[in-house]
């Protein structure tokens, strides 16, 4: 830390640090050791221009116009025109948390000293992050190859005094905000527009946004699953560590341990140790196997995204030690696209399993609780339609989980003839997360109802803490009432990170 600023060393972003920036604003300072490499790469680009060498994106046009040579006196104008022409994004602006991640990853990549961008441009990006001056970036318009061009253009336009900035929830023209703070627009030098626009930071930020949401939901779903075990008079025998050890999957063993810890000390469980039920339904019994596979998938995703968060993914790349500027394809976001598809599938499975437990709880034959978890069923419908909502959301997720990475459409007059579709593959994770958060909210409410219906028997001390949090937002259902406000209140709790922090005591997914 530098005072109240976190010190960023280029290439040093960890999953924990990314998650911390996602959760809240954290000012940064760039490690002074980074500036030597930054300046060397910028000097290398300046030398290319001085020597009038033909190098893609520096003294040529872009994409299919790469064969067009640009005169030396037009090199600077080329960069600003590039930024403005690429501001074609549409749709709802990206969440502030996503924009924070984009900014810190773009700063991190540029600071590695292979993009040829001047320190003063990076410093302006740092100022935007530190002052919470978030560029307004439309969510749609990237195909995830040649970088996230349109969304990064909207970010870059702010440097030129164009576009809009969101600060404290208010959207204002960039020119007004800069004038108010006595800041001048940046005049881009050779290659700088291209360095800013190329890169996978938007796709990666959206995928991390989805992953971090998924972790909060996963933590709540583990708690909901444990509550459902107690509510349905389920057994904790399937969570015995000896069973998990014989299979060998890390995630399975970890989930079983969490479930054992959450259920430890439950009087409800002790009351039916000698019952005649031989096995529970899979949605209770196989939680370690299903949710373990989910967390293992999340860990794999986290490892890939952490690598990508530290990657230099623009083009061409500058190698000051040899004076070379090499054109490649690090902007192709296929690793992010594959990862986003994997997160989507795993996240959807959380909702699928949770919906099945809600179905079990409202079924009097399966749960041995009153039908639809309410007194006087018939007069009361209880949780009947809450389960229908859970089923609708779980089914909708099946459509949202269609792999984005198997699609490609050529762009730029067939120069960019294979693209990743990573951006919308990652963006839809938030839609899946919203659905799953509501499914888990419905399960928490239903399981709490079931546990209360077992009184005077008590659940475990840890689950009693969860019950208190649930009941602070959704009262026991004695007779039919509006349930939508309760579902929304609990969905907000699910998405808040409270279960990860307070019950699992792991605020961020452990990637290693």
Residues tagged active-site: 56
Strand 317-319 with 324-326, pairing: antiparallel
Query: What are the b/e assignments for 154-185, b being 16+ CB within 10 Å?
Result: bbbbbbbbbbbbbeeeeeeebbebbeeeeeeb
First to last CA, the chain: 24
Query: Could you write out the DSSP letters of every residue in 84-117?
Result: HHT---EEEEPPHHHHHHHHHHHHHHHTTS-S--
Tokens of 290: 């299903």
Contact (Cβ atoms closer than 8 angstroms) between residue 57 and residue 129 = no
What are the backbone dihedrals phi and psi of residue 348, each rounded to the nearest 5 degrees, phi first? Answer: -60, -35
The tokens 């960019």 sit on which residue?
A: 416
Strand 90-93 with 317-319, pairing: unpaired
User: HEC profile for 110-163?
Assistant: HCCCCCCCCHHHHHHHHHHHHCCCEECCEEECCCCCCCCHHHHHHHHHHHCCCC
What are the backbone dihedrals phi and psi of residue 190, each rounded to the nearest 5 degrees, phi first? Answer: -55, 135
Cα(109)–Cα(426) distance, rounded to whole angstroms?
A: 20
The tokens 């079931």 sit on which residue?
A: 450
Cα(253)–Cα(376) distance, rounded to whole angstroms?
A: 41
Dump strand ranges (E) for 266-420: 317-319, 324-326
Helix axes 461-471, 429-453, angle to 10 degrees: 110
What are the backbone dihedrals phi and psi of residue 68, each rounded to the nearest 5 degrees, phi first? Answer: -85, 120
Cα(417)–Cα(239) distance, rounded to whole angstroms?
A: 50
Of 479, 476, 493, the residue nearest 441 (C-alpha): 493
Tokens of 478: 């004695």
What are the backbone dihedrals phi and psi of residue 437, each rounded to the nearest 5 degrees, phi first? Answer: -60, -40
Of 131, 205, 199, 198, the residue nearest 165 (C-alpha): 131
Strand 317-319 with 164-167, pairing: unpaired
Tell whether omega for the bond before 316 is within 30 degrees of 0, i.e. cis. Answer: yes
> What separation in angstroms does the CA of 329 have from each of 23, 292, 311, 419?
32, 35, 12, 11
């Amino acid at each position: 830390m530098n005072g109240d600023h976190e010190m960023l060393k280029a290439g040093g972003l960890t999953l924990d640090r990314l998650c911390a920036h996602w959760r809240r604003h954290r000012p940064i300072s760039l490690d002074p050791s980074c500036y030597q490499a930054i300046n060397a790469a910028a000097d290398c680009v300046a030398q290319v221009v001085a020597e009038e060498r033909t190098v893609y994106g520096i003294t040529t046009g872009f994409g299919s116009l790469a064969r067009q040579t640009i005169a030396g006196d037009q090199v600077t104008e080329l960069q600003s025109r590039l930024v403005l022409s690429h501001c074609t994004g549409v749709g709802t602006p990206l969440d502030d948390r996503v924009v924070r991640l984009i900014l810190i990853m773009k700063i991190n990549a540029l600071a590695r000293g292979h993009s040829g961008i001047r320190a003063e441009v990076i410093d302006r990006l740092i100022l935007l992050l530190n002052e919470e001056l978030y560029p307004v970036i439309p969510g749609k318009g990237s195909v995830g190859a040649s970088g996230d061009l349109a969304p990064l253009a909207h970010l870059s336009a702010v440097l030129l005094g164009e576009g809009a900035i969101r600060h404290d929830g208010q959207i204002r023209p960039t020119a007004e905000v800069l004038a108010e703070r006595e800041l001048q627009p940046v005049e881009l030098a050779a290659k700088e527009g291209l360095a800013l626009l190329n890169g996978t930071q938007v796709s990666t930020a959206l995928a991390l946004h989805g992953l971090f949401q998924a972790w909060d939901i996963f933590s709540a779903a583990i708690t909901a699953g444990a509550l459902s075990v107690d509510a349905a008079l389920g057994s904790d025998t399937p969570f015995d560590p000896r069973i998990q050890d014989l299979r060998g999957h890390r995630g399975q063993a970890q989930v079983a341990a969490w479930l054992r810890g959450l259920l430890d000390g439950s009087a409800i469980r002790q009351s039916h140790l000698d019952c005649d039920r031989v096995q529970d339904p899979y949605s209770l019994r196989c939680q370690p196997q299903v949710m373990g596979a989910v967390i293992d998938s999340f860990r794999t995703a986290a490892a890939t995204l952490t690598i990508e968060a530290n990657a230099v993914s623009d083009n061409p790349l500058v190698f000051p030690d040899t004076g070379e500027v090499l054109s490649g394809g690090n902007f192709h976001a296929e690793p992010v696209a594959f990862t986003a598809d994997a997160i989507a599938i795993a996240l959807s499975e959380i909702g699928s399993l949770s919906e099945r437990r809600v179905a079990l709880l409202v079924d009097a034959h399966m749960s041995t609780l009153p039908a639809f978890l309410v007194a006087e069923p018939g007069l009361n419908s209880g949780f009947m339609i809450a389960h229908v909502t859970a089923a609708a959301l779980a089914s909708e997720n099946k459509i949202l989980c269609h792999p984005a990475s198997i699609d490609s459409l050529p762009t730029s007059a067939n120069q960019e003839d294979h693209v990743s579709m990573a951006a919308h593959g990652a963006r839809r994770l938030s839609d899946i997360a919203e659905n799953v958060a509501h499914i888990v909210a419905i399960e928490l409410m239903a399981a709490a109802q079931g546990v209360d219906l077992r009184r005077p028997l008590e659940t475990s001390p840890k689950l009693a803490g969860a019950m208190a949090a649930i009941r602070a937002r959704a009262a026991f259902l004695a007779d039919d009432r509006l349930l939508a406000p309760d579902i929304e209140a609990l969905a907000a709790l699910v998405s808040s990170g409270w279960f990860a922090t307070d019950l699992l005591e792991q605020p961020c997914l452990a990637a290693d």
